[in-house]
């Protein structure tokens, strides 16, 4: 009796395993390389170029103030270097100059951080638009390949080139969206 039950249990296990393997074999999997799509598509290159331009503009905007602060810092260091603490405390004009410099340096740092946050916000907005545009291109490739599962290449341990549909996604995206509008974002006043 026990041998018969063991046989039936083993037969049921083999049947369940073969059914599972058959279902798995019928699953159509494709792979895409999201990083490559972002880097090599026309829209991705367009975003990268526009973000670089905005970053350069902000850098050029901040450069004169940064250079003026560096020059003032060097001048103050040269002035303070030969003095001891008591001599510095007794020189009211020097103390006012130091306080003024520190205030301007803090204001500049706040402005620099605000601009960095604006660049980040601009980048996030642009890439959100990119992924919205990517959706229909990816859906078209999924439909054409009758795919059940889509994996990013970075998540796959191994994927043969025959299931990599990155080029097809890029081609469709390039055809429909060669560029993305990138608008410099500003932080609301309370966040600045």
Cβ atoms of 102 and 76 within 8 Å: the answer is: no
What is the model's pLDDT at position 89? 85
From the centroid of its chain, how far is CA 72? Answer: 36
Burial class (CB in 10 A: 0-12, 13-18, 19+), 90: exposed
pLDDT at position 188 = 82
Instruction: Give this prediction's pTM.
Output: 0.76
Separation of alpha carbons 114 and 126, rounded Å: 18
Tokens 């026309």 locate to 42
User: End-to-end CA distance of the chain, in Å?
Assistant: 80
Cβ atoms of 65 and 108 within 8 Å: the answer is yes
- 8 Å CB contact between 88 and 94: yes
Domain residue spans of the chain = 29-191
Q: What is the pLDDT along the chain (192 residues), one digit of tens a residue?
A: 455 554 555 555 545 544 444 545 577 888 999 999 999 999 999 999 999 999 999 999 999 999 999 999 999 888 888 888 888 788 888 889 989 999 999 999 999 999 999 999 999 999 999 999 999 999 999 999 999 988 888 888 888 888 899 999 999 999 999 999 999 999 887 655
Q: What is the CA radius of gyration of the chain?
A: 31
Helix 166-176 crosses helix 92-144 at what angle (to 10 degrees)?
110
Q: Determine the Cα–Cα distance for residues 24 and 50; give it in Å rounded to an integer.
A: 44
Angle at 158 between CA 153 and CA 160, to 5 degrees: 85
Q: What is the DSSP string of 120-134?
A: HHHHHHHHHHHHHHH
pLDDT of residue 80: 83
């Amino acid at each position: 009796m026990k041998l018969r039950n063991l046989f039936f249990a083993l037969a049921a296990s083999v049947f369940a395993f073969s059914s599972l393997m058959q279902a798995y074999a019928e699953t159509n999997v494709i792979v895409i390389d999201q990083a490559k799509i972002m880097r090599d598509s026309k829209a991705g290159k367009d975003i990268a170029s526009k973000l670089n331009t905005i970053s350069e503009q902000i850098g050029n905007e901040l450069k004169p103030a940064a250079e003026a602060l560096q020059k003032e810092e060097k001048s103050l260091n040269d002035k303070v270097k030969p003095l001891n603490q008591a001599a510095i405390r007794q020189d009211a004009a020097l103390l006012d100059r130091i306080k003024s410099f520190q205030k301007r340096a803090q204001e500049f740092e706040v402005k620099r951080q605000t601009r960095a946050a604006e660049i980040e916000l601009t980048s996030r907005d642009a890439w959100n638009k990119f992924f919205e545009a990517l959706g229909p291109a990816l859906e078209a490739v999924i439909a054409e390949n009758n795919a059940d599962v889509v994996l990013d290449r970075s998540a796959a341990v191994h994927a043969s080139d025959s299931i990599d549909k990155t080029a097809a996604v890029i081609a469709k995206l390039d055809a429909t969206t060669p560029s993305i509008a990138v608008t410099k974002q500003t932080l609301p006043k309370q966040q600045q």
